[in-house]
């Protein structure tokens, strides 16, 4: 069981880091939607940092939860049209 948790935590951490690199704010700067996009991006980055902290503290359960929450922020932003993503990425739900 621990190996499964460790593998999943590693995979989700890498997935969140890749998703942060892939997603680009695509709404006009100076608009409320731009502010929302930046906030989603900041939340995702904060959860990535939190997950890495939990991982370093040998707490994979909270690391996995943090990575999952961070990914959810980005995925929601993509679905709302706040971010553009590469067409060939499988990192996000788009439909």
Mean pLDDT in each 10-residue stretch from start to end of the chain (95 residues)? 84 94 95 96 98 97 97 92 85 67
25 φ/ψ angles, rounded to the nearest 5 degrees: -60, 130
Predicted local confidence at residue 87, as pLDDT? 79
Of 21, 12, 3, nearest in space to 62 by CA: 12
Go through the domains of the chain in sequence order and give each one's CATH number. 2-84 (1.20.1270.90)
pLDDT at 2: 60
Q: What is the pLDDT, as a whole number, of residue 86?
A: 85
Contacts of 60 (CB under 8 A, 6+ apart): 5, 6, 9, 54
What local confidence, expressed as pLDDT, does residue 95 receive?
58
């Amino acid at each position: 069981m621990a190996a499964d948790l460790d593998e999943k935590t590693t995979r989700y951490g890498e997935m969140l880091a890749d998703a942060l690199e892939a997603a680009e704010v695509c709404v006009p700067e100076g608009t409320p939607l731009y502010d929302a996009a930046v906030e989603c991006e900041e939340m995702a980055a904060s959860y990535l940092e939190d997950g890495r902290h939990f991982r370093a503290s040998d707490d994979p359960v909270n690391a996995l939860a943090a990575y999952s929450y961070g990914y959810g922020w980005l995925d929601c932003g993509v679905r709302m049209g706040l971010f553009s993503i590469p067409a060939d990425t499988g990192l996000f739900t788009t439909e």
